[in-house]
Amino acid sequence: MLYMKNRPLTVCILGIILMIHVCALTASDGIQLDVITNLYRLLQEEDTDGDKKITINDHYIAGEKGNKKFWLIDINGKKYEVCGTYFLSNLLQELKLMEEKGYRIASLKRDRIYESPVHRISRLIRDSYWRGLTRKISEESLPSIIKDPKVSTKDNFRYIYVPYDDSLAFNYYQDISKIHPELRLKVLFLPKLITPEWVRNLDGYHGLLSLALKCNEDGKLEAVPYVVPGGRFNEMYGWDSYFILLGLISDEKIELAKAMVDNFVYEINHYGKILNANRTYYLTRSQPPFLTSMARAVYEKLPHNPENKKWLRKVLSAAIKEYYNVWMGEKRLTRTGLSRYYGEGFGPPPEVEPGHFNVVYARYARRYSMNIKDFEEAYRNGKIKDPELFSFFKHDRAMRESGHDKTYRWDDRCADFVTVDLNSLLYGTEMDIAQTIKEVFKDSLVLESGKVEKSSTWFERAKKRRKLINKYLWDSEYGLFFDHDIVNNQRKVYISATVFYPLWAGLATKEQAELIVENATPFLEMPGGLAASSKESRGEISITRPQRQWDYPYGWAPHQIMAWIGLINYGYGEIACRLAYRWLYTITRNAVDFNGTITEKYNVVKRTHQVFVEYGNVGTKFSYITKEGFGWTNASYQIGIKLLPEDLYKKLENLIPPEWIWGY
Cα distances (Å, whole numbers) of residue 594 to 55, 87, 230, 597: 5, 11, 18, 6
Distance CA 359, CA 640 (A): 40
601 neighbors 617 (Cβ within 8 angstroms): yes
- Which position among 58, 322, 432, 600 bears the catalytic label? 600
Of the residues 45, 47, 115, 405, which is catalytic? 405
Distance CA 230, CA 249 (A): 18
**Residue 225 carries which DSSP code?**
P
Which CA distances in Å does 510 have to 465, 498, 503, 535, 569? Answer: 18, 18, 9, 27, 10
Q: Is 130 exposed, middle or buried (0-12, 13-18, 19+ CB in 10 A)?
A: buried
DSSP letter (8 states) at residue 617 = -
Cβ atoms of residues 295 and 312 within 8 Å: yes
Q: Are 339 and 333 in contact (CB under 8 A)?
A: yes
Bridge-based pairing state of the strands 105-109 and 158-162: unpaired
The H or E element spanning position 433 is helix 420-440
Residue 602 per-residue DSSP state: E
Question: Is the omega angle on the peptide bond into residue 331 within 30 degrees of 0, that is, cis?
Answer: no
Of the chain, the end-to-end C-alpha distance in Å amounts to: 5
Q: Supply the DSSP symbol for 355.
A: T
The helix/strand/coil state of 506 is: coil
Does the annotation mark 353 as catalytic? no
Strands (E), 558-629: 601-603
Amino acid at 330: E
In the residue annotation, 401 being an active-site residue is answered as no
Give 409's DSSP letter. Answer: T
User: Would you name the residues annotated as active-site residues?
Assistant: 405, 600
